[in-house]
């Protein structure tokens, strides 16, 4: 493909070394063009990959499960990049969006456990295909696998795979500690030849997260002395909480490992316990495909909720029990989704009467063995919020909204000014005349550490709505008001931070910085902190980035101590995952200490 065929006016995405553009007259292709000319080794690597693609099992159905290099892009005979399959990012999302219950509930409420299981199978098939051609993925993590609502997987960033072209071993220089096997923890990946068994560890982690509601397999309640070790240290020590060894951890209480069929439990033990001593013992992708298929064939459908599926070795539905414990259904019924009940505030049931949630098992109708997708519901094909998120964000002032939000994502108080500010979808609400009564919010609890504290609507039902503003193109996850009450900062899933004059509604500045799950302003009003997949510290007045803290985790939140000296951050491994608090010096960014696993509080 010649450079002239690339549509440089249509930018699809940007990476660290290259940009991705559309291709003229080829809506099925995208071109990855490097800002600097690829080296001779890179050109040899790209050429080999184009000539030696893996088998894509989804191709016969017109889908893409492996976003492979298809042809080279050249300019005057010199390789400047390559063409690959173009993905529709409107219908595919990173895999963690499905296995984290809070995200799944908002974006894909009808993505059932059956669909999660099918996703795990398709994930294993894609990895099996890669390994069959003697490629090693290397950087297996929660961002390199995209999933559609029919459970089809697409593996991306394939140009970073490791392989030997007969002359050179092209290594994968990247990796995340949470998906790295114990024998490689702490290594510089540029100096390491990866092996298939290294991939198999990361594959096992992702499958575990899919089947165990986002929980990392090495997450658990620390029962030892001193500070709770980080996940990477637990992996290195082989401390699998569900294993047979005596270790200073016990499993998290909300979801049981015994919920899985015995055959799957055995595979996880091979992967994380026996595999710690002998990496060659880790289950292959083929073993996962077969065992997950058996699990699917032996699923039972709950008679209470048609979205609940579970192993037939259980006497009752574990999701009904989990719903009772959490006050919120992890897999809401179609009726609940239609009515919006799944987005309402949870009602926590503190005690459950024995056998209250027993259900009569109903066997699933056997499926054809060749089927690899979960058919989406013909009635509801997307989140109920999708129609309210088509919001333009190119205005220079806060524009009043004409629509009433259907739920509140985030709330922030400025008691001195008697203002309450809430984030809902892409809307900011400024609510006035807050009652002077001080509520004891602790009684309502944090239903998900790291996500906004949600209050029963009865507390805000009497508030008068003063203003509602279209502020972002996607959900608002973090808001803060400066101590002088003059500046409002909002952070959104649209990966922008916006700074507003609260009195006039004028937009003062827009910053770029991740999905911004938290926003904080220092007591002196000079420093802004945003939390996302990392933590960024900004100068509030100038908008200049001061420094970035790499948390090694996509979900990160941060607050500033009342004296303005310390930055406290929390990183999440998953819905029920280990939540580590860390303290930094706000001025220097120096880590002071890891505090505690918050699940022990």
Q: What is the pLDDT of residue 422?
A: 44
Q: What is the pLDDT of residue 513?
A: 67
Q: How far is the C-alpha of 78 from the C-alpha of 560, rounded, in Å?
A: 51
Q: Structure tokens of 188?
A: 């510089």
DSSP 241: T
Q: How far is the C-alpha of 180 from the C-alpha of 189, rounded, in Å?
A: 10
Strand segments (E) across 143-219: 145-148, 153-155, 163-164, 169-170
Q: Give me the domains of the chain, ranges plus CATH numbers.
A: 3-85 (3.30.200.20), 95-153+177-297 (1.10.510.10)
Q: How far is the C-alpha of 426 from the C-alpha of 479, rounded, in Å?
A: 12
Catalytic residue among 19, 28, 139, 191: 139
Q: What is the pLDDT of residue 503?
A: 66
Q: What is the pLDDT of residue 477?
A: 73
Ramachandran quadrant class, 525 (left: phi over 0; alpha: psi -120 to 50; beta: rest):
left
Task: Give 10-residue mean pLDDT values along the chain (601 residues).
Answer: 94 85 94 93 95 89 91 95 90 92 90 96 96 96 93 93 93 94 95 96 97 93 88 95 93 88 96 96 96 95 95 94 87 92 64 36 36 32 28 30 38 38 43 30 27 32 39 72 84 82 75 75 92 87 87 71 85 52 86 58 36
Q: How far is the C-alpha of 576 from the C-alpha of 425, rounded, in Å?
A: 25
Note the pTM of the prediction, 2 decimals: 0.64
Q: What is the pLDDT of residue 183?
A: 97
Identify the CA nearest to 539 among candidates 474, 487, 584. 487
Beta carbons of 47 and 136 less than 8 angstroms apart: no
Q: What is the pLDDT of residue 463?
A: 35
Identify the CA nearest to 261 among candidates 316, 324, 310. 310
Q: What is the pLDDT of residue 103?
A: 87
Identify the CA nearest to 589 among candidates 543, 532, 550, 561. 550
Q: What is the pLDDT of residue 260?
A: 96
- Dihedral sign (CA 61, 62, 63, 66): positive
Bridge partners (DSSP) listed for residue 536? 530, 548
Identify the CA nearest to 488 among candidates 477, 474, 499, 496. 499
Beta carbons of 458 and 389 less than 8 angstroms apart: no
Q: How far is the C-alpha of 509 from the C-alpha of 493, rounded, in Å?
A: 17
Identify the CA nearest to 406 among candidates 382, 419, 387. 387
139 assigned to active site: yes
């Amino acid at each position: 493909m010649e450079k002239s065929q690339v549509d440089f006016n249509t930018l699809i995405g940007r990476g660290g070394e290259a940009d991705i553009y559309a291709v003229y007259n080829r809506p099925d292709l995208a071109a990855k063009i490097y800002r600097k000319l690829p080296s001779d080794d890179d050109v040899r690597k790209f050429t080999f990959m184009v000539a030696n693609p893996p088998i894509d099992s989804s191709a016969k159905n017109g889908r893409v499960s492996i976003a492979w290099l298809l042809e080279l892009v050249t300019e005057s005979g010199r390789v400047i990049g390559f063409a690959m399959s173009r993905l529709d990012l409107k219908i595919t999302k990173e895999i963690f969006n499905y296995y984290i219950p809070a995200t799944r509930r908002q974006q894909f409420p009808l993505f059932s456990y059956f669909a999660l299981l099918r996703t795990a199978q398709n994930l294993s098939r894609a990895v099996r295909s890669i390994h069959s051609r003697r490629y090693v993925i290397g950087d297996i993590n929660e961002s390199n696998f995209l999933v559609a609502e029919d459970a089809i997987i697409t593996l991306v960033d394939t140009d970073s795979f490791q392989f030997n072209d007969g002359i050179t071993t092209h290594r994968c220089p990247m990796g995340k500690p949470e998906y790295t096997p114990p024998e490689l923890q702490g290594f510089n990946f540029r100096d390491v030849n990866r092996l298939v068994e290294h991939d198999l560890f990361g594959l096992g982690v992702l499958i575990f997260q899919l089947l165990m509601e986002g929980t990392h397999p090495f997450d658990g309640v620390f029962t030892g002395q001193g500070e709770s070790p980080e996940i990477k240290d637990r992996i290195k020590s082989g401390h699998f909480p569900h294993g047979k060894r005596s270790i200073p951890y016990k499993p998290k209480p909300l979801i049981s490992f015994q919920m899985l069929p015995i055959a799957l439990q055995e595979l996880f033990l091979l992967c994380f316990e026996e595999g710690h001593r002998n990496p060659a013992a880790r289950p292959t992708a083929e073993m996962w495909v077969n065992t997950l298929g058996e699990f699917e064939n032996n699923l039972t459908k709950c008679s209470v909720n048609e979205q609940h599926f579970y192993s037939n070795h259980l006497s009752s539905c574990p999701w009904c029990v989990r719903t009772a414990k959490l006050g919120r259904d992890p897999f809401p019924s179609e009726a609940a989704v239609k009515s919006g009940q799944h987005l309402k505030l949870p009602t926590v049931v503190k005690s459950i009467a024995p056998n209250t949630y027993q259900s009569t098992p109903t066997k699933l109708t056997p499926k054809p063995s060749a089927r690899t997708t979960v058919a989406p519901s013909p009635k509801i094909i997307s989140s109920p919020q999708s129609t309210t998120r088509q919001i333009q964000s190119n205005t220079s002032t806060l524009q009043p909204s004409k629509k009433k939000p259907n739920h509140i994502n985030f709330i922030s108080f400025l008691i001195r000014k008697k203002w309450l500010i809430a984030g809902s979808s892409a809307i900011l609400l400024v609510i006035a005349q807050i009652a002077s009564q001080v509520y004891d919010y602790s009684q309502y609890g944090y239903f998900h550490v790291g996500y906004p504290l949600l209050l029963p609507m009865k507390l805000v039902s009497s508030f008068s709505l003063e203003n509602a503003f279209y502020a972002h193109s996607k959900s608002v996850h973090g808001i803060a008001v400066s101590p002088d009450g003059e500046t409002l900062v909002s952070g959104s899933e649209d990966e922008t931070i916006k700074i507003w004059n609260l009195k006039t509604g004028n937009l003062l500045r827009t910053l770029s910085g991740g999905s911004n799950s938290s926003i904080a302003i220092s007591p002196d009003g000079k420093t802004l902190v945003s939390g996302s997949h990392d933590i960024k510290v900004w100068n509030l007045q100038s908008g200049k980035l001061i420094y970035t803290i790499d948390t090694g985790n996509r979900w990160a939140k941060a607050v500033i101590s009342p004296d303005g000296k310390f930055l406290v951050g929390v990183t999440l491994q998953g819905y029920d995952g280990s939540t580590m608090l860390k303290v930094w010096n706000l001025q220097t960014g120096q880590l002071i200490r890891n505090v505690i696993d918050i699940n022990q509080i």
